[in-house]
Structure 1
Amino acid sequence: MVAEPMTTQPGRDWIDLSRPPARPPERPGASAPSRVSAVGRGLVTGLDQIRTGAARAGSAIAGHLHPAMSVAAAPLRRVAPAWQDAAGRVGAHPLASRVAGAARRAGALPWGRALVLAGLGALGGAAVFLGWCAATLPPLGGTQPTPRTITVQAEDGTPVARRGLVQGQLLPLEAVAPAMRQAFLAAQDPWFEDEYRLDAGGIAAVVGRSFRDTISDGPRSGGPRLTQRLVRHDLIGAAPGDARSLADRVREAILVLWLSARESDGQILARALGLASFGPGLTGIDAAARILFGKEAAALGTAEAAYLAGLSLNPDLRPDRDVAAIRTLGHAVLDGMVMRGTLSAAEAAEASRTLDGLSPAGTTPVTRSGVPDLVLAAAADRLGPEPPREAVLRTTLDRDLQAMAEKAVERRLDAAGRGAARAGLLVLGPDGGVRAVVAGGAPLGPTPEARRAASASLRHLDRDGRPVYDRLVAGPMPAAERRRALLTLLASLARPPEGADDPASRDGMFVGPVGDLLVGISLSGTTTENGAGDGPEALFQDLAAQVAKARPAPVAEAREAARETGSTARSVGRLAWQSPDERPAATPSLRGVPRVIDTGRLRLDGQSVRLAGVEGQGGAFAREFRQYLRRREVTCQPAGGADLYRCRTGDQDLSEVVLFNGAGRAAAGAPPELQAAEANAKARKAGLWQ
């Protein structure tokens, strides 16, 4: 078949595609084409103007965005040298050449070029993602929170506890005591000073640890564990157990590599000390040393350093509330310092003894009970979603009653010889609010009963100087409900602290009314001569006597309170002395062989009996009094109160016998013969008066 030659129409040539066709010359008679050309020229001119305006607008926008983009790219510029160094090390690794060879071989296969392009696209997307993560790194100095202060007050406005946000300054390592540095390393990373190489294996190890949810505490052969904790918890702000995004994990790896490559071990340790959390809202060793111990970081002792280092292991603990739990962590820190060789066994033993008696500034029985924190939780909804700069919470805590409770507990613990003894005390008002509290073990937890008591204890709330909540009058709580709540709270308050051994010897609990107040006592870890129950009751009687002196209540009111609560305790209000003719005829006399509680109280016929006119003593005097009575029969006649009696054995008045031997003091308002017996003992320097 012969191909026919291609021909063209007469008068037409082929178009040369190598250059644009020449514009035909305009003819004078072509009016329509001239109008079309004018319209085209106008359209082109308009498009040129639009492009020019867009270019000017783009330049203006770029000028405005340039400062912000420069700030955002600053972290990327800082990490660029480290990344270039790391990229060079990765490229020199034999694995990189193998990957490149595999890519060349894949490109020669069918569909291999598409796969290579897809891989390159994925690498490009990963590079963009890495660049975005690097550009959004958190500042290395940590976030600077706005200082906030919340003050919890007693009923009269006396400060009870303070909470808030405080961040100290970043101190150079030389401004921190050597004991604090070693204690912090023993707590956070005992192997921090081991040799570590940031080669390909080291980089892979850092990336692998960044993608794990936990940070191992076991030994390892090098590795920036302290750096990783600093980045994860203090810079990125991820709490242990929190879910972390992929971007956070990548940022962690970037920052760990950057700090490991650019800063020395001393600089990283100083940064970690300056950004570590030492309790809720308390950041940095500078602030922790000043607020908790009232001294500079350079002046911290070994026991104080162990306390703070232990607190850094669990920053959710409150320094002035969870004292026992923090001391337990501090002892573990001292063991770690001995293991690292920075502390001898003798020095650790001495520091351990100091640590057992160490408490931060502002620690009181009220703060250790956890009541201020429960009240803060109860007021959270009224404080609003945005924390205030300053807030004041006033509670039902009675400062005078609190002082009486603390003194009564101190006296009882002194009489028991301290040791492992623990005494807890709780006083609830008519509305269920906490009037006084002494922690006997662990602080109160957020149970329904504790939250209810905290809500009833909140009286007034100021937010930034503006009143938000005011509860001047509260309705009374039913007696049975109040008693159940007190027993539940007392059991929680008396449980042993975490890590402590529960003593085998227990005295138990005692609950009774004092006027319109309901008092609960718990005593653990003591041994009494007269059986279980005497210890808590003795503490109750001591507190009730102090309250009666400060707030005398009518007999009818005390009896009515005892009847409502159903308590086996008797009303203990101090009453005026009465003659036998004025004594209530319905109160029977008692007869039998008593058990001695102390030199002012006996247990007779199953009830507690107070010797009229005597303030009793325990210890050796109580033992001598017990030996004096032995198995003698005693007859007791009422002396004006539900548990106040004049007791005799034979012809001897026991109140006069106690005071004559100097085994007690005459109570206020005692009859003349008892005051004379006390004066005789003072003149002879007998008993207490030696």
Structure 2
Amino acid sequence: MTAQGPDSPDGAGRDRNDAQDAAREAARTAGLLARQLGRLAGSAGRSLWRQSRDAARKAGTAAGSAADAAAPIFRRDGSPARTRAPEEMPARRQAPTPAPDSGSPAARSGLIGRLRRRPLIAVALVALLLPIAVLAAYVLAAFATLPPLGGVVPEAGQRALVVEADDGRTFATRGVFQGEKLTEKTLPPRLAEAIVAIEDRRFYSHWGIDLRGLMRALWRNAAGGGVREGGSTITQQYARLTSLNQEKTLRRKIQEAFLALRLESTMSKPEILVGYLNTAYFGAGAYGADAAARRYFGHGAQGLTLPEAAMLAGLVRAPSQLAPTRNFGGAKERADLVLQAMVETGAISQAEADKARKEKLTLHTPSETPPGANYYLDALQADVRRLTQEPGDITVRSTLNLDLQSLAEGVLARRLDAEGAKKKVGQGALVALAPDGAVLAMVGGRDYEDSQFNRATQAKRQAGSLFKLFVYLAAYQKGYFPDSVLVDRPTQIGEWEPQNSNNRFRGALPLRSAFALSVNTIAAQLGDEVGMPAVIAEARRLGVQTELPNVPSLALGSADVTLIDMTRAYAGVLGPGVPVEPYLVRAIKGGVPQPLYQRSPPKPGAAMDAQVQTMILDSLQAVVDSGTGKAARVSGVAVGGKTGTSQDFRDAWFVGLTPDMIVGVWVGNDDNAPMNKVTGGDIPARVFHDFVERAQKVLKGRKRPAPSAARAETVPATAVAPAPAPPLPPAPIPNAGGEVRGVPEVVNTGTLSIRGRTVRLLGVVGEGGALARQLARYLRRREVVCSGEAEMRCRLDGDDLAALIVTAGGARATEDAPPDLIEAEDQARAERAGLWQRER
């Protein structure tokens, strides 16, 4: 008879009564067994005492007889005469003893006596009976502490979050997917057949415990020298998931068996199977078959195809290791085993299995989240919590441009790797905003896996000369002009005496030049003239939210600020109104057609005075054209910006503006240690230049190179990626020198040997070892065509070989490499491909 569901009041009451009955039954059984064990122990103790007493008496009698037999006969004078022979000893008078029956103490003492004469048998009996007694007591204890069915309530996990980029590509997921609960009517037949075939073929015939399957698993594990197969039935697994913890002990296995028997007596087989599929973990944050189907394939469980059902069924054995988002190859191999198991059980034919193996499986979501994008996702998650509290799985359309994000990560990492050690720079951050405040890219540090602290949004550091923007804005509001002249001279305001970075004075300078050259004394004079309250008001108006002390040194950036605040402040110079509000979420969708949130077009803030805006833009452009920010110049792009360096070179900044975006860059050290004379016009301005120069291709619609076929060899293929973007057009091969054609031998990933001639790939720093061996396997028996002089560009099936290798993380690009190879390296760094992989 089928038990009522736990959701009904009657069913809930019956479950509580069942639990109480089970507890009372366990207590009664425990008491009974305890009394029986006590009686057995008392009886054994009394028997042992009687046996030892009788043995002692016999030993005394035997000793007396031996003494009489050995006693000498003495003469009267005390000298020994002779020893009495045994036959001369007088016979003792003994009363006849009746033959004892088998149950009498005498019979038992006789048995003990025989065991005493055969000690090895006695030891063997003790060795046999003692473990049995201990095991019986252990089983009793496990039964006495049996938890009620369904006693484990899973913790409420974070709701599932599916994140789309600004172009609709899904690139990340977070949280726990719950999906919908399956019922007997909605259970997909193929999924049921697959899970039974691979997990418990005798599910419909056993009574909760499959002794045959258990023996088979023990035999295979012993033969294989390890745990290769489990012996738990689906019923036992369901009991463990809903009533027990995951500890691996004998006690838990015994309780699991008891609960499986109880489940089989209270639920039907279909109910058990449905309950198991609704509870099992399928990896990647998906609990239940429906959640897993939505997580991996983008639709509910009822829409599963045969190969999809086989893949899901194969995950439950090792969900964390086989999750297709992490290990697609392993998940596919396991799915093939499931299909073969279904053939063996008669669920499908061999032809159906072969056809299913050939079908292409495409994941709805990408492999794992790109590591660097996690800084952005942390900030986005906080915004989502603020915007909606609706329960259930949600999909978020974000502002992130995946190509710009990958480019930002690669550019910053490349620059810090090249110069960081020499210049004592440990960390960096970058934020790119659209003019309306949309966050296009965010890098919060060199490596999210090493540190989750977001230096773009959380780190508060001294702004240095970057803060002069607000001083000059306040001055232009008060009637000054870029052509207004002030004198660079020794200055004292109260007890404070500002100094220029070079400790020199230039004399009379127009404000445009003073701003471009970042002259401290003139900024201090301006701040004193307009007053610090006016400077603070300008900073607040443009969005700076940190504490700003009303002291003269504030004019030179003595206050602590965040990178995103300063970037949004500079964005206000371009925008139609201030402040510009940075945002990461465009829309949020839930389980209903109506969006849970839709960002409305931003309402412009208070418009900046047009004349003031023109003057400050002119001053910002002068910084890049002729001032401290020359390294940020980008050919063909109008760029303005400002450098900033804090005291003792502890922080270096550059925030730059183009017509398309505003980019802020910071470098420094987490422990606030000084750098080796790094200024804002050094590494930060160069990072800005590299990013903006290459971003122009992205903004004009030219996508970055997609991962190539070579990556499947140089980096383990762990997932099916989303549809790749169109690759860049092939780079031209130089028309100098002769052409070399043939099947290459790999010296390293940057050097080949073709028909006895050494070919060095242009712009590639080769790697040996495992990467070289992987490249050799990829190139085996394939012809390449190379052209050039000392260094060559080679083609493989029409693709540029150097770009394939670098994109796959098989080699580094040289400092003077062609732009396409530098972009390929940036992408490989961002994707942790090949040699850029981090140890986990």
TM superposition score normalised by structure 1 = 0.43
